[in-house]
Amino acid sequence: MLETIEIETAPSPTAAVIWLHGLGADGHDFEPVVPEIVRERERAWRFVFPHAPVRPVTINGGMRMRAWYDILGFDRSAAEDADGFRATDALVRELIAREARRGIPAGRVVLAGFSQGGAVTLYTGLRYPERLAGLMALSGYLPFGARLGADRSAVNEGVPIFMAHGIDDPVLPIGMGEQARDTLKGLGYAVEWHQYRMPHSVCQPEIADIRSYLMRALP
């Protein structure tokens, strides 16, 4: 089981947001935004911020850092780390299953992530065998998009997907987010798309839109 940071906004939470950080960060990364998304006791939610495993990352010269999978190249046509995605998929599924054991079923869980975490969110969420409450991919992209039509889980074909991206993102250009959005829409998914004048980060208008989305996904 991954080590996690947890914040409960009220006693006896009835819903959970599992939020995956980006490359080289850790579970503390998005901890400060919780009070901006939901006020104390406004909703009984559990925010779960896992720490990714430490592993060598090829594009960073093999340096060891927290990463959900290896990145083999900057080019969109570079090979993707299938083994890394499968390993992380199993870890994320364990987190969802743990929420069920604690009384929060998959239908009350939103899976979220930023950058690498957003890619994992789409990879796992669209293949998960139980209906989730929602998927939130921030400044991310769609991994293994060509295989999604064959791999996807029918029960999550109607899951509401929130996607957001910075227009000025120099790390994952907005075109990668737009390509993911268009692929998902082409497969019939309901995608709520937002873009902001920002780099590879988050901004206040985005946090406000995240709050609105979560209030609707977890009524």
Amino acid at 193: W
Q: Buried b / exposed e across 140-163, counting CB within 10 Å, b at 16+?
A: bbbbebeebeeebeeebeebbbbb
Q: Buried b / exposed e across 192-202, counting CB within 10 Å, b at 16+?
A: bbebbebebbb
Kindly state the tokens that stand for 202: 């988050």
Find the catalytic residue in 26, 194, 200, 201: 200
Does residue 212 carry a catalytic annotation?
A: no
Find the catalytic residue in 115, 153, 168, 182: 115
Find the catalytic residue in 29, 70, 81, 169: 169
Does residue 81 carry a catalytic annotation?
A: no
Does residue 51 carry a catalytic annotation?
A: no
Active site residues: 115, 169, 200
